[in-house]
Structure 1
Amino acid sequence: MNGIGCEVVLAGVAKRYGSVTAVKPLDLAIPGGTLTTLLGPSGCGKTTLLRMIAGLEQASEGRILIGGQDVTRLSAGERNVSMVFQSYALFPHMSVVENVAYGLVSGGMTRRAAAIRAEEALATVGLAGFGDRMPSQLSGGQQQRVAVARALVLEPAVLLFDEPLSNLDTRLRRTMRDEIRSLQQRLGLTVVYVTHDQTEAMAVSDMIVVMRNAEIAQFGTPEELYRRPKSVFVATFMGEANAVKARIVETMGDRAVVDLAGVTLTAANPGLPPGSADLIIRPEAISVTAPGETPFAAEVRTSTYMGSHVEYVLTTALGDLYCLSPADGGQRMTGEAVSLRIAEEGTVLVRP
């Protein structure tokens, strides 16, 4: 496939609509052959950034390079990129194979040659033999695969996904995200993927760009963003997290002794000096024990049985804390007095 593994480089790229800044000037290098996700809440600029890479929006400033070629002023059709839209955008009056072949035929290929290529692309996404069907005869997941096949058949340097799973039910979303990831790895494609769902992003991505207020909040691997967030926003966007006020008493390399309402513990420290900080505590780092076993006294505010685990909201001197406990340890009930143990693994300090 032409252009497999092309790096995408954004240098000082920004987008403005009159006085409104949709994307602030930013620099980003997306490694070739990886699946990189643009993640963030609605209005953060992630879809605008994707559309600038696709050529559907022109950058107000900066440069966009794909495989070393400056494509900033090229049209969408000249960039050798393909995009899978949230709505799939299939032509209802065309058969599946005609939908997939459409871009090739529009580009001048004969219908016969295009149909052969289209059937090969359908086989790649597990839809061999579906070419004669109409879109209305397919499930949502099958329509999504057709949209992917239509993008793949053009042999793009970069494949772009804009919220591709948002129209699917929960179970099918899980299946399709695994299929997209498997396809990307098998073909060695460079993929840029937009979602607001952190679970989806964690499942498919090599790298994640967390965006907020039209700029990059943090860029890294899923593990880096979850275990070493640089802000409360990133920590809480990358999964459940408790953010509490703490005081760094002493630093020890990449660890620090912190004071929490008169109780000390050790937490991961990205280099903050002694003084005030926010401590991120993941729910799984909190263990619920009998009252008096630890200095952290608490009361069960809510207790929700979830099958494999119990979800608690606990009232403490630090504020309400959310935690998860294995269901086989028994369930504490609302109003019950307990104490807490906070593990070092699952805690990290960030700037206030």
Structure 2
Amino acid sequence: MSHAIAKPGAEVRLEGIGKRYGAVQAVKPLDLVIEGGTLVTLLGPSGCGKTTLLRMIAGLEQATDGRLFIGGRDVTLLPAGARNVSMVFQSYALFPHMNVLDNVAYGLVSSGMRKRDAHGRAEAALETVGLKGFGGRLPSEMSGGQQQRVAVARALVLEPEVLLFDEPLSNLDARLRRSMREEIRALQQRLGLTVVYVTHDQSEALAVSDRIVVMRNAEIAQAGTPEELYSQPNSVFVATFMGEANRVSGRIEAIIGDRARVALGGLVLDLPARGLPAGPVDIVIRPEAVRVAAPGQDALPARVARATYMGSHAECHFETEVGPVFVVAPRTAARLRPGEEVGLVLDPEGVVLVAP
């Protein structure tokens, strides 16, 4: 007898959703559509509103503004248990006195399902997350990564329309985090789940997401695909939150069509104008978009501040006329000596204009 584990994911639609605690606006009213079967990450610093937003989707917080639809159904006023969503918490929240099978089956049994049927579904869920045969163990007999999978199985067994993750990997070490995020992504794609995932780790967000929603000060700063947010940030905040970025000041001297002629120190660059007017402009330069060369007319003059050998690459800090510039370079660049004069050649692909 086969057990279905998850239905195709449902669309989540937020219309003017907001949350106030007295005079404090935890989430300013916002609109957001999460397409069915996609993984969308809410990314941002502590206190930006991402977890409050997740808890409103879960029904653990009541929205004070707007309406919330899951699969086309208005669930704004429904309690958590009536929403058909499941949440995986940072702490996993497993019952230490129950074995793994009973932990996974708990939600089904408590909602009235016969224990034998619930155990059958729980076995199928454990197999889905790669834990076939682990049902008899106690949580304390399992590693952090295995406990994380049990928490995912417990959420999956309820066949939710939407699966919610709140900082699910923050208790794991770096290597395990990397393999677990790949597992979560593969599972989401295989089952066609709708997943809303909260993290403050941008590499995690880049690795798992179809779309990323960057939040700041209780509102959406920018939403888009990982590639859009990395290569076309609309603010310095988004640029620096989506990875390492040098922020320097330049000047748009002329706009020709949709291109801008930009003065950066002694260099003149031709870049996408992105709708910005002539005048002062902030320029974001990705560390991997800079090549270290001999001083020359098409290079930004720079002086080595320090160069650090990192195994697979070198991390170099330079002083330039437009400010400090951090560069990720081939490991041979670690031989550069402080005070040495070099030229920095910029790859336009990694240089972006943003409004000051």
Within 5 A, what are the aligned runs for 1:270-309? Answer: 270-292=274-296, 294-309=298-313
Mapped pair 1:235 → 2:239: yes
Pick aligned residue for 1:90 from 94, 98, 108: 94
Paired residue secondary structure (1:154): coil
Contact between 2:314 and 2:333, CA under 8 Å: does it hold in 1? Answer: no
Query: 2: CA distance between counterparts of 1:286 and 1:345?
Result: 10
Mapped pair 1:320 → 2:330: no
Mapped pair 1:100 → 2:104: yes
Query: 2: CA distance between counterparts of 1:41 and 1:314?
Result: 28
Contact between 2:57 and 2:68, CA under 8 Å: does it hold in 1? Answer: yes
Paired residue secondary structure (1:164): coil
Query: 2: CA distance between counterparts of 1:295 and 1:185?
Result: 45
Displacement of 1:253 in angstroms is 3.9
Query: 1: CA distance between counterparts of 2:347 and 2:278?
Result: 21
Aligned to 1:345: 349
Pick aligned residue for 2:126 from 122, 137, 159: 122
Displacement of 1:128 in angstroms is 0.2
The superposition leaves residues 133-184 of structure 1 with CA deviations (integer Å, 9 ceiling, x where unpaired) of: 0000000000000000000000000000000000000000000000000000
Contact between 2:266 and 2:300, CA under 8 Å: does it hold in 1? Answer: no
Mapped pair 1:63 → 2:78: no
Contact between 2:163 and 2:196, CA under 8 Å: does it hold in 1? Answer: yes
Contact between 1:235 and 1:280, CA under 8 Å: does it hold in 2? Answer: yes
Cα distance change, pair 295–2 in 1 and its aligned pair in 2 (3 A): closer
Mapped pair 1:152 → 2:156: yes
Aligned to 2:207: 203
Contact between 1:242 and 1:280, CA under 8 Å: does it hold in 2? Answer: yes
Displacement of 1:254 in angstroms is 3.9
Query: 1: CA distance between counterparts of 2:164 and 2:231?
Result: 27
Mapped pair 1:27 → 2:31: yes
1:209 counterpart letter in structure 2: V
Paired residue secondary structure (2:335): coil
Contact between 1:84 and 1:151, CA under 8 Å: does it hold in 2? Answer: yes
Contact between 1:16 and 1:22, CA under 8 Å: does it hold in 2? Answer: yes
Mapped pair 1:37 → 2:5: no
1:129 counterpart letter in structure 2: G
Query: 2: CA distance between counterparts of 1:168 and 1:151?
Result: 19
Mapped pair 1:194 → 2:198: yes
Contact between 1:96 and 1:132, CA under 8 Å: does it hold in 2? Answer: yes
2:343 counterpart letter in structure 1: S
Query: 2: CA distance between counterparts of 1:231 and 1:103?
Result: 44
The superposition leaves residues 209-245 of structure 1 with CA deviations (integer Å, 9 ceiling, x where unpaired) of: 0000000000000000000000000000000111111
Displacement of 1:293 in angstroms is 5.8
1:9 counterpart letter in structure 2: R
Displacement of 1:328 in angstroms is 4.2
Paired residue secondary structure (1:114): helix
Contact between 1:268 and 1:347, CA under 8 Å: does it hold in 2? Answer: no
1:202 counterpart letter in structure 2: L
Query: 1: CA distance between counterparts of 2:344 and 2:272?
Result: 19
Runs of 4+ in 1 over 6 A off after TM superposition: none
| Most deviating of 2-11 and 179-188 | 2-11
Displacement of 1:2 in angstroms is 5.8
2:129 counterpart letter in structure 1: V
2:218 counterpart letter in structure 1: A
Paired residue secondary structure (1:129): coil
Paired residue secondary structure (2:326): strand
Paired residue secondary structure (2:48): coil
Which TM-score applies when normalising by structure 2? 0.97
Pick aligned residue for 1:10 from 9, 14, 39: 14
Aligned to 1:247: 251
2:105 counterpart letter in structure 1: A
Cα distance change, pair 243–190 in 1 and its aligned pair in 2 (3 A): same
Query: 2: CA distance between counterparts of 1:133 and 1:255?
Result: 62
Within 5 A, what are the aligned runs for 1:172-191? Answer: 172-191=176-195
Displacement of 1:289 in angstroms is 1.1
How high is the sequence identity, in percent, across the aligned residues? 68
Paired residue secondary structure (1:230): coil
1:65 counterpart letter in structure 2: F
Displacement of 1:83 in angstroms is 0.2
Contact between 2:308 and 2:334, CA under 8 Å: does it hold in 1? Answer: no
Mapped pair 1:218 → 2:222: yes
Query: 1: CA distance between counterparts of 2:7 and 2:67?
Result: 19
Paired residue secondary structure (2:249): strand
